[in-house]
Chains A and B, each alone.
Chain A
Amino acid sequence: MSLALNLSHEPITKIPHGKLAMWAFLASELMFFSGFFGGFIVLRNTNYDVFGAGSAHLNWTLALINTFILIGSSLTMALAIHNLEHKKDGAFRLFMGLTILGGFGFLIVKYIEYSSKFADGLFPGQENHTVFYSFYFLMTGFHALHVIAGMIPMAYIFFKGFTKAGYPYPSKVETLGLYWHFVDLMWIFIFPALYLMIPYHVAGAH
Chain B
Amino acid sequence: MSHDHSNPLPSYMKVFYSLMALTVLTVLAAKQLTFPHEWGTPGDILHVAIGVVIAVIKVIAVMYIFMHLKFDHPMLRFFVYIPVFLFLVFGFALNFLESFTYTH
Are A30 and B84 also in contact (CB < 8 A) when A170-B1, A193-B51 are?
A: yes
Tell me if B87 and A68 are in contact (CB < 8 A): no
Give the residue of B20, B30, B98 whose beta carbon is less than 8 angstroms from that of A201.
B30
Contacts A24-B79, A201-B35; A45 near B95 (Cβ below 8 A): yes
Number of interchain pairs (Cβ within 8 Å): 144
Cβ-closest 6 pairs across A and B: A196-B30, A34-B87, A30-B83, A192-B51, A199-B35, A23-B79
Interface string of A75-112 (1 = CB under 8 A from B): 10111001001000000000000000000000000000
Chain B contact residues, majority secondary structure: helix
Q: B34 — nearest CB in chain A belongs to which residue?
A: A202
A-chain residues with CB within 8 Å of residue B44 when the two chains form the complex: 48, 199
Tell me if A's interface is mostly helix, strand, loop or mixed.
helix
Chain B residues with CB under 8 A of A170: 1
Count residues on chain A whose CB falls below 8 Å from chain B CBs. Answer: 59
Interface residue count on the B side (C-beta < 8 Å): 54
Q: Which listed residue, B2, B27, B47, B59, touches A185 by the CB 8 Å rule?
A: B59
* A–B Cβ pairs within 8 angstroms, 15 of them: A15-B76, A19-B72, A23-B76, A30-B83, A34-B86, A35-B90, A45-B95, A68-B23, A74-B62, A79-B9, A177-B67, A196-B27, A196-B30, A197-B51, A201-B30
